[in-house]
Amino acid sequence: MVLSMEVGSAGDIVHNDNIAPKRPGCDNNFVLVKVPTWVDGIETSEYVGVGARFGPTLESKEKRANHTRVVLADPPDYCSPPKQKLSGEIVLVHRGNCSFTTKANYAETAHASALLIINYRTELFKMVCEENETDIIIGIPTVMLPQDAGTILETDLKNNSKVSVQLYSPLRPLVDIAEVFLWLMAVGTILCASYWSAWTAREAALEQEKLLKDGSEETLHLEDAGPTGYVDINTTAAVLFVVIASCFLVMLYKLMSFWFVEVLVVLFSIGGVEGLQTCLVALLSCFRCFKQAGESYVKVPLLGAVSYLTLAVSPFCITFAVVWAVYRRDSLAWIGQDILGIALITTVLQIVRVPNLKVGTVLLSCAFLYDIFWVFVSKWWFHESVMIVVARGDRSGEDGIPMLLKIPRMFDPWGGYSIIGFGDIILPGLVVAFSLRYDWLANKKLKAGYFVWAMTAYGLGLLITYVALNLMDGHGQPALLYIVPFTIGTLLTLGKTRGDLKILWTRGEPERCCPHVRLEPCEDKDQD
């Protein structure tokens, strides 16, 4: 749970770089290109290529893209004058032996309508203009295909099959409905978890106050009452978060493989079972018919006291997690992953708490630096964004690691998923939940409290993240870069304005003087 992922979009387009700067005639954006193919008049596969920085831009609408015949280049690399005269066909050439613009110029001289270049690797490559090249005003589009796709087309052509293709680069919508649902999921999860956390804190405070008034020396045996205990984070743990999370992230990056993702799936399933079980028991206990079963316990070897209600829902939770793990590669498996993830996040926000705004500020500040470093700065050392590589599950043969909430992009022609990491919900959620506990225990009304402002700040920060995401053409963004300033900045500013900052900053630490559960200023003016 220490891993804070960026919010992003799987299946992103190819982006600009700063290695080969734009110049007149060579200033196209790098875009992915759809290449549907027909062999002897029968539609077969659709491949994905990447457009060059030079040449005209491609059509964005499929219905406007022409079906054009493909021919093999002669010579194969097109690094010398072509031996064939074309009449508007698309020529298929091999990469290498000369510059991309040289090949494009020869193709244009031969009257080709477009140029397809077969890469000598399975990935795509950004085609730019060489530094000293001058003949870069090219009138036909150039597209690179990965090696496997180009080899298939070449084999069909050598077998005397008639091959034709379409070339078009559809635009992504400015906003996809998946992002709206993902925003609602994140905000709704924090909202529900905060009320659950505040309710249990108030119940515990009332019980403690009752025992103090009665003079009772009774103690509450939390271990006999089920999973109702919670853990407070201190400033030391908040600082260590960066170190531990960074080590864990590098381990994921270095060990990313099929078997390692399988281990993560097992661990996520175990956590999901515990989270789903805890949430279901709490929800069902609200109904009178299940309340008695939730308050009756039986001794279970190795587990201790377990309620009858927990025993009843456990088989369902285990079955649900196992079914998801087995069928997680199916198109609808994201639903099961999100259910398990939301249950797990809600349970963590119920159990783990920040005792005051000081710890919350330190925790989110460290997470803020952590997110920025591993999304952006890590490119300087690892030549790629470590966070994005781990989030997508690159080199693992899997569709990303499971510690993410994700929804398929519904109106995106390139498909993929909109994703948000657990850390981008849990870490700010700890501070938002603290604000509601403070409001309730201090008897503050909703409008006069801090929860509404903290919740609004989180939602606005996440919304700005999606705006930045779309401005960057779907390139992964560190959500905490936007969420942390909004959330912490709002609470600090509001607390300072209302004169509550000192109480918010230190509440819950050992130096407080008041044993009473209500968070009112002490009468002793020499102490806080």
What does the alpha-carbon distance between residue 247 and residue 252 come to, in Å, rounded to a whole number? Answer: 9
Active site residue 338: no
What does the alpha-carbon distance between residue 34 and residue 55 come to, in Å, rounded to a whole number? Answer: 17
**SS3 string of 162-204?**
CEEECCECCCCCCCCHHHHHHHHHHHHHHHHHHHHHHHHHHHH
Beta strands in 133-263 (DSSP E): 142-145, 163-165, 231-232
Neighbours of 383 (CB within 10 A): 7
Segments in 352-498 forming alpha helices (H):
357-372, 378-382, 386-392, 423-441, 451-471, 480-498
What φ, ψ does residue 79 adopt, rounded to 5°?
-100, 5
Instruction: Please give the helix or strand (H or E) that residue 447 lies within, else none.
Output: none
From the list 12, 371, 439, 500, the catalytic residue is: 371
Q: Are strands 90-94 and 68-72 parallel, antiparallel or unpaired?
A: parallel
* DSSP at 507: T
Q: Are strands 304-307 and 231-232 parallel, antiparallel or unpaired?
A: unpaired
Helix axes 451-471, 423-441, angle to 10 degrees: 160
From the list 176, 338, 412, 424, the catalytic residue is: 424
Q: Return the structure tokens found at 167.
A: 């070339």
Q: Are the C-beta atoms of 375 and 388 separated by less than 8 Å?
A: yes
What does the alpha-carbon distance between residue 141 and residue 197 come to, in Å, rounded to a whole number? Answer: 58
One-letter amino acid for residue 198 of the chain:
A
What φ, ψ does residue 92 adopt, rounded to 5°?
-105, 115
Closest CA to 503 of 520, 526, 484: 520
Q: Cβ neighbours of residue 493 under 8 Å, at least 6 residues apart? A: none
- Helix and strand totals (H; E) in the chain: 15, 14
- C-alpha dist (Å) from residue 252 to 140, 245, 263, 401, 490: 43, 10, 11, 10, 34
**Look-up of token digits 């309340």:** 291
Q: Are strands 142-145 and 114-118 parallel, antiparallel or unpaired?
A: parallel
Q: Are the C-beta atoms of 215 and 454 separated by less than 8 Å?
A: no
Closest CA to 60 of 37, 100, 29: 29
Q: Are the C-beta atoms of 465 and 482 separated by less than 8 Å?
A: yes
What does the alpha-carbon distance between residue 431 and residue 412 come to, in Å, rounded to a whole number? Answer: 34
Active site residue 412: no
Residues annotated catalytic, as ranges: 371, 424
